[in-house]
Amino acid sequence: QQALESRSLRAPLRMSKTFKLALCQLPVGADKASNLRVAGEAIREAASNGARMIMLPECFNSPYGTSFFPEYAEEMPGQTSTFLANLARELQIYLVGGSFPERAEGKLFNTSLVYGPNGDLLAKHRKVHLFDIDVPGKICFKESETLSPGNQITVFETEFCKIGLGICYDIRFPELAGLMAKKGAQVLLYPGAFNLTTGPAHWELLIRARALDQLAYVCACSPARDESAGYKAWGHSTICSPWGDVVATTDEHPSTIYADIDLGRVEELRQNIPVFHQRRHDVYTLAETL
C-alpha cells in the first residue's frame, strides 16, 4: 500500500504513443518452482524481443482449481510477488503477473500484481466477479467455494497510458470495463483461463466486444492447455484493437504473442465515434459505489 501511495505522489508521466506488448501463454503444472522458472524464461525471451510490457496468465504459478487454491496461496510479500518484482526491476519492464492465489485478511483471493520497471508495485487487482457457473452436462465450477471477491476497480498509470486490469470472469461485465475506461484506461488487460465449454463460444467474442464498447485495446492471456489436467484451459491468448480486429492470437499450445499498441488509434477512434460524450446521463448512469 505504501508503494502505491508513494507512486501516486510523483510527477505525471510523459506518455508515449506506441509500445510493444507481449502475452506469455505458459504451461502450468503442479510444481510451483517449475512454474516460476518457466515463466521467468518466457519473460526474459519476450523482453529480449523488445516487449516493454509483459502479461502472464491467470493462476500462472499453480493449477487452476478450488482444491489447489489453499495449497498454493501466498501472503505478500512472498515467493511469487518477490519473483515478479525482481524480474521487472532487472529487465526494466512493466510486468503484469497474471494471477495467483493470495492469502490475506483470513481469506483467499485471486490476485494480479503489476510491477513497474523499477520494481515498484503499481497495482493489485483482486478478481471482482468470481467464476461460479453451472452449465448442465458440461461444466460446474464454483470459485466461491474457496475464494473471496475483490471490491475495487483497478487502473494503473504507465509512461504510455492508463491501463485497466481485470481477471478472467471480470471480462463478462461491461460495467467494470466501462468504469476502467471512465478512469482513463486506453488498454484493458485480462489474465484468464476460459475452459473448453465457454472458450470456443465466448472467449474471442468477449474480447472483441469489450474492445468495441470501450474503444480500447483488450488483451487476454490464458495458460496453455494441459490435456491431463482436471480443468482444461482454452488457451488462444488474444490481443484485439479498438476497432474490434484481432491483431495477435495463438492456439492452445505454449507460446508468446506480440503486438504494437498504437495509442494514437485509440484516440482517433474515440474522436470518430464519440460514445463517451454521447451517453445519456439524464437517462442512466455508470458509477462506482465504493
User: Could you give the residue numbers annotated as active site?
Assistant: 58, 127, 168
- With beta carbons less than 8 A apart as the criterion, state whether 155 and 185 touch: yes
Rounded Cα–Cα distance for residues 210 and 219 (Å): 10
Rounded Cα–Cα distance for residues 181 and 186 (Å): 7
* Angle subtended by helix axes 32-48 and 79-91, to nearest 10: 20
Rounded Cα–Cα distance for residues 172 and 126 (Å): 16
Q: Following CA atoms 265, 267, 273, 277 in sequence, which dihedral angle do they give, to the nearest 10 degrees?
A: 160
DSSP collapsed to 3 states, 111-173? EEEEECCCCCEEEEEECCCCCEEEECCCEEEEHHHCCCCCCCCEEEECCCCEEEECCHHHHHC
Rounded Cα–Cα distance for residues 163 and 157 (Å): 6
Residue 58 is classified by DSSP as: T
Cell of 67: 482444491
Q: What is the number of H-type helices and E-type strands within the chain?
A: 8, 15
Closest CA to 42 of 62, 65, 61, 68: 61
- With beta carbons less than 8 A apart as the criterion, state whether 287 and 44 touch: no
